Amino acid sequence: MRLHINNETSKLQAVILGIATSNGPIPTLDEAYDPKSKEYIKAGTYPSEEDMVEEMEAVAKVFEKYDVQVFRPKIIEDYNQIFARDIAFVIEDKFIKSNILPDREKEIDAIKHVIDQIDPVNIIRLPEEAHIEGGDVMPYGDYIFVGTYKGQDYPNFITARTNIQAVNALQDLFPKKKVVSFSLKKSNSIARENALHLDCCFQPVGKDQAIIYKEGFLIEEEYNWLVNFFGKDKIYEITRDEMYHMNSNIFSISEKVVISETNFKRLNAWLRNEGYTVEEVPYAEISKQEGLLRCSTLPLIRE
Ligand SMILES: NC(=O)NCCC[C@H](N)C(=O)O
């Protein structure tokens, strides 16, 4: 398989879509590794496997409609495998295995059948101390945008997944690209104050537009850099609640077609007004685990 990814929106040809089957029992509060899951565990409304399987099958149907080749992970019994995005990522023709949160490290074993189709010279693992997850990594032409957390208290945050060592390692790996990092706000306990990954508060759409949540960024100048980079008129700002519901985590099939969540009324209206085709799917149950459509997809080939 010849991998090819240089941005978030060129026409999608092949993708790994996570899987919700055998997701395991409801985690305990101690087992949960994001604050939004904790909220729903406490409330007794953690999503059921049945509902999540149904939501993911709706996404698979959209891919079928657009002739996208879809790979699914093999099922590891009683293990959460919904968020394929984070376990690895593709930049150009390189497949980079994430140094992911230890709680999630088995997930990669389940896509061996995909990895086996890639030329081993293009499979990369960053040094062990470089923590990184795919939700924090966004190739954008000559740039790679990376979400990170640089504070001394990094080890205290189970929600901080990409460190400065990884930002540096990516720059070494792609010397011709400009790696630009963004410090994200982290909270282990309050989902509305946690940008778990860069794709939880920002994502490019179409040719030159982007969705953004200002307060997800720890440093205002870094947020301003992005706004200036795209231009104010190309930016769609979302609110604290819209961030919580994960409006920045839709997924692009092409520059013209996006998959979005049915309840994202304001966003979907804006997208349609801007000329996008919006394929709506129900994803509110999966959203309770602090991930949405970008989080559950790992693109392998875009045109
Ligand atoms: N790219 C993403 O933002 N992925 C979402 C992962 C959610 C999962 N509950 C986690 O904490 O790892």
- The pLDDT assigned to 31 comes to 96
**Which atom, in ligand 1's list, is nearest to the CA of 249?**
3
- The pLDDT assigned to 123 comes to 98
- Distance from the CA of 186 to the center of ligand 1, in angstroms? 13
CATH superfamily of domain region 12-302: L-arginine/glycine Amidinotransferase; Chain A (3.75.10.10)
Question: Could you identify the residue written with the tokens 């030159």?
Answer: 208
- The pLDDT assigned to 291 comes to 98
- The pLDDT assigned to 251 comes to 98
**Which atom, in ligand 1's list, is nearest to the CA of 289?**
9
Q: What is the largest CA-CA distance in the chain?
A: 49
- The pLDDT assigned to 154 comes to 97
Report residues whose beta carbon is within 6 angstroms of any ligand 1 atom.
33-34, 37, 83, 85-86, 135, 196-197, 199-200, 289-291, 295
- The pLDDT assigned to 265 comes to 98
- The pLDDT assigned to 83 comes to 98
Pocket mutation for ligand 1, best pick of 16, 56, 86, 243 (most atoms within 8 Å of C-beta)? 86
- The pLDDT assigned to 263 comes to 98
Query: Domain segments of the chain: what residues?
Result: 12-302
Phi, psi of 12 (to 5 degrees): -80, 130
- The pLDDT assigned to 42 comes to 98
Distance (Å, whole) CA 184 – CA 13 = 31
- The pLDDT assigned to 284 comes to 98
The predicted complex's ipTM stands at 0.95
Question: Could you identify the residue written with the tokens 């790696």?
Answer: 179
**Running along the chain, 303 residues long, what does each successive block of 10 average in pLDDT?**
98 98 97 97 98 98 98 98 98 98 96 98 97 98 98 97 98 98 98 98 98 98 98 98 98 98 98 98 98 98 98
Collapse the DSSP code of 181 into the 3-class scheme (helix H, G, I; strand E, B; otherwise coil) and give the result: strand
The answer to whether the predicted template modeling score (pTM) of the entire model surpasses 0.95 is yes
